[in-house]
Amino acid sequence: MFRLANKIIPAINKALLQRSSSKGNGIVVLLQAQRPFSDKGNEQFSIKTEDYGRPLYFDAQATTPMDPRVLDAMMPYFVSYYGNPHSRTHAYGWESEAAVEKAREQVASLIGADPKEIIFTSGATESNNISVKGVARFYAPRKKHVVTTQIEHKCVLDSCRALEGEGFKITYLPVGPNGIIDLKELESALTPETSLVSIMMVNNEIGVKQPVAEIGALCRSKKVFFHTDAAQAMGKMPIDVNKMNIDLMSISGHKVYGPKGVGALYIRRRPRVRVEPIQSGGGQERGMRSGTVPTPLVVGLGAACELSGREMAYDHARMEKLSQRFLDKISSKLTHVIRNGDPIHTYPGCINLSFAYVEGESLLMALKDIALSSGSACTSASLEPSYVLRAIGTDEDLAHSSIRFGFGRFTTVEEVDYTAEKTIKHVERLREMSPLWEMVQEGVDIKTIQWSQH
Amino acid sequence: MSSGVSKTQILSMYKLLMRESQKFANYNFRSYALRRVRDAFKENKSLSEPKAIKKEFEYAKENLNIIRRQAAIGDMYRTEKLVIENLNQ
């Protein structure tokens, strides 16, 4: 145990030091010296656990396990029906084509679209790229302005960055402290030059739902195309592209209990939205996405969509029950816990919490029995606080102490209880070690302290 | 019964589904399957229209086959148990 503790404690101290040194203070170091970590091993500070086995999965926003029913639908296309769906001269091609077309219908019917409006891609990142770059470039001769938000997924933001390099003007809308955009601000950002508005339906880090229907109506009235990234929303809430006036929508396979490496793009036919394809080739998928359509993956995506349509009410009720249970447990034992993002306009399966006076990375390390993340998987390698949390105005220290709990279809009540208990235990342990927490308990307002420079 | 599906048939289908669901090696899939089967039967308890009963019964049959195949696949690629499964030992 001590070997483990010796390894981890210096790391925690280092992290604490790094954080505090940015504010330039000497007090934290001094207080720590008063309470050196002794090898006598106070049980309270022990991170040794008796538990062994694989960690519990609580990162459903990063990816979801594939539903066995989805795998079952895919297997025949891995094992027996291997034809190229674009082969028109033999039965192998026809059977694959039929499967692809069935999947197209399954995806379309979940969002109230026509099957012809569904394009299969390699994932939501590709769909977002085709939408943002494709629309902007196609309409570039007349319109050179794109509106998006500061809390979009990296692939939308990076596509916009690329467009900026090509001379487009991009407006990054700010969001309120609850993570939701202001419709008035959006309206004033729209100009006759604007070709596209791209706003995600459900945020991947804080789970907030944007008022997509209102945004859609606004864009339609201004004759601007509206793209939404629905990777996190698909199959989890009812979507109707016509009622919501959505012109383009990105869909991901592996966030709806489907396979990885496949996604879809909804692209409206009436009024017609045109995009400049990114990939050149055989002209598959109506010329917008060349490349052989991967039959087994697409069949999996279709099956996953049909299944999530069927299970939507059941899954949603379950998510609400689990998240309520989790939040009740946490708030009954811990104070100074802040939920990031709007508590009402949110997807209940994504809970982003900031535990004040606890360093997020230390907590993640301590909670090694649970697969968690402090934000999106794309940025989980860096210790930088998430740009989404910064955009909603979270304080630097709170942004550092945030953890995202993602529930899924296969999460059990026992897992939720275990996670809540472990979280409470380790937050209490880490706070007990924290000099800042001690000062807060003594009634010192941390924000009023003038940290001395040295 | 005019639906062509007798009460005994439904009951034995329920038992079969539960027994086969128990065979999932993966903790999460196993818990989900058991819970989902139980809830689905509870949900459709008051179904009286023969056509609807027949439809649900066919769906159950289809799922029974899926569970059998998938439990077999899962069994071939077992992993270490989850932390939570080792707790009560």
- pLDDT, position A7: 53
Lowest-confidence pick of A3-17, A28-42, A312-326, A362-376: A28-42
pLDDT tens profile A53-69? 999 999 999 999 999 99
Of A55, A72, A418, nearest to B69 by CB-CB distance is A72
Q: Is pLDDT of A203 > 80?
A: yes
Q: How many CB pairs under 8 A join A and B?
A: 59
Q: Is A378 a catalytic residue?
A: yes
Contact A54 B80 (CB under 8 A): yes
A51:B86 CB<8 A: yes
- Nearest-by-Cβ selection for B81 from A54, A68, A69: A54
B1 lies in a domain? no
Q: Is residue B37 part of a domain?
A: yes
Contacts of B31 in chain A (CB under 8 A): 410, 412
Q: Could you tell me which residue, A383 or A170, shows the higher pLDDT?
A: A170
pLDDT (tens digit per residue) in B13-33: 999 999 999 999 999 999 999
- Range scoring the smallest mean pLDDT among A290-299, A312-321, B1-10, B57-66: B1-10
User: Residue A396: what pLDDT?
Assistant: 86
ipTM of the predicted structure?
0.95
Comparing C-alpha atoms, which of A446, A141, A100, A161 is closest to residue A301? A100
Tally the domains of chain B: 1
Q: Is residue B31 part of a domain?
A: yes
- Which residue range forms the structural domain that includes residue B41? 7-86
Does a structural domain hold residue B47?
yes
Q: Is a pLDDT exceeding 80 seen at residue A380?
A: no
How many of the other CB atoms lie within 10 Å of CB of A128?
Answer: 30
Give the per-residue pLDDT at A42. Answer: 56
Q: Is residue B60 one of the residues assigned to a domain?
A: yes
Q: Which residues on B lie below 8 Å from A414 (Cβ)?
A: 84
Note the pLDDT tens digit of each residue in A398-445.
988 999 999 999 999 999 999 999 999 999 999 999 988 999 999 888
| A394 φ, ψ (degrees, to nearest 5) | -70, 140
Q: Establish if B71 belongs to a structural domain.
A: yes
Nearest-CA distance B40 → chain A (Å): 10
pLDDT score of A175 more than 60: yes
* Tokens found for residue A411: 């999460």
Cα separation, A239 vs A72, whole angstroms: 26
Q: Write down all domains in chain A, each with its CATH number in brackets.
A: 2-64+311-448 (3.90.1150.10), 68-309 (3.40.640.10)
* A410 with B29: Cβ contact below 8 A: yes
Q: Quote helix, strand, coil % in chain B, to nearest 5.
A: 70, 0, 30
Q: Which of A155, A305, A350, A378 is catalytic?
A: A378
pLDDT at A313 over 70: yes
**pLDDT tens across A331-348, in order?**
999 999 999 999 999 999
Contact across the interface for B28 and A72, Cβ inside 8 Å: no
Measured distance CA(A275)–CA(A133) in Å, rounded:
8
The Cβ of residue A417 has, within 10 Å, a number of other Cβ atoms equal to 14
